[in-house]
Amino acid sequence: MNSLTEIKAESRRVAGFSTLGMIVALLLLGVLLAPMLGTIIAAQDGFVDSRERARAVGNVRYAHLALTRYMRLAGSSPVGLPLPGIDPDPDANGAFDDVRLRADYNPPDGDTDDLGEDLTFYVAADTMYVQTGGEDDTTEPYLIGVDSLAFEYFDRYGVLITDPDKVGTHAISAAVTIRAVGERSFEPTERLIHGEVRLRNGK
């Protein structure tokens, strides 16, 4: 009887010790894990941030590529339609911050009413829009998060053309710059996509 009481007391003591030990161990674990958890969360945030950034930069790059491709096509007409291929200032504000591109290739049927044959690109607020002329006159967002869009046109001697009336006939190349909205984490070089495109006059 005596020994049974002793065993009970002993087991209670062990159980008590274990619970206390567990609490201490958990507290210690918590203290040790807290900074690690912070590091993990920070790393995760960094990953999401860089992925978002990569996506944004990729989008700007893609938009630039597609726009310069349309510029290269501007003025093209296999059936010989006389076209003002590039209008460098469709909103007539005196700045080359937008562009209207016309071509007859989709299909080449003597008009510019078909898909992708009459496109105007411009920036309003922080979005770059594309306006489709022709039969389905629509305006759609083309790229979100754009600070500015700028075009420079050069003649065959590499001289900058400032007269909008001379761009359509004299420009053989253009420099296109898309500046993304200034995110704090963006490097200046990542925010700005700049590239030259050869125009049909230069063929």
Which residues have CB under 8 Å from 70's CB, separation 6+?
101, 116, 119
- Tell me how far, at minimum, the Cβ of 149 lies from Ca ion, in Å: 9
CB 160 within 8 A of CB 147: no
Instruction: Count CB-CB contacts under 10 A for residue 61.
Output: 14
Query: Any idea of the CA torsion for 53, 56, 60, 65, to the nearest 10 degrees?
Result: 100
Determine the size of the site formed for Ca ion (CB under 5 A): 10
Using CB under 5 A as the binding rule, whether residue 29 contacts Ca ion is answered as no
Q: Enumerate residues 32-91 that contact Ca ion by CB under 5 A.
A: 89, 91
CB of 62 to Ca ion, least distance (A): 23
Using the rule CB under 5 A, is 118 a contact of Ca ion? no
Asked if residues 138 and 131 have their Cβ atoms less than 8 Å apart, the reply is yes
Check if the beta carbon of residue 69 is closer than 8 Å to that of residue 195. no
DSSP 8-state symbol, 128: E
Rounded to the nearest whole angstrom, what is the least distance from the CB of residue 105 to Ca ion in the complex?
A: 7
**From 77, 104, 167, 168, residue interacting with Ca ion (rule: CB under 5 A):** 104
Report the distance separating Cα 125 and Cα 1, nearest Å: 89
Among 30-38, 48-56, 94-102, 131-139, which window interacts with Ca ion (CB under 5 A)?
A: 94-102
And the tokens for 115? Answer: 């898909």
Q: Which is nearer to Ca ion, 114 or 155 (CB)?
A: 114
When computed from its CA atoms, the radius of gyration of the chain, rounded to whole angstroms, is: 32
Selected from 61, 76, 114, 132, the binder of Ca ion by CB under 5 A is 114
**Both tokens assigned to 187:** 């490097």
Residue choice 76, 109, 133, 190 for contact with Ca ion (CB under 5 A)? 109
Q: Which of 95, 124, 159, 160 is the binder for Ca ion (CB under 5 A)? A: 95
* Shortest distance, position 133 Cβ to Ca ion, whole Å: 12
DSSP letter at 90?
A: T
> Smallest gap, in angstroms, from Cβ of residue 117 to Ca ion?
5
Residue 98 as a binder of Ca ion (CB under 5 A): the answer is yes
Least distance CB 107 / Ca ion (angstroms): 6
- In the complex, the residues that contact Ca ion under the rule CB under 5 A are 89, 91, 93, 95, 97-98, 104, 109, 111, 114
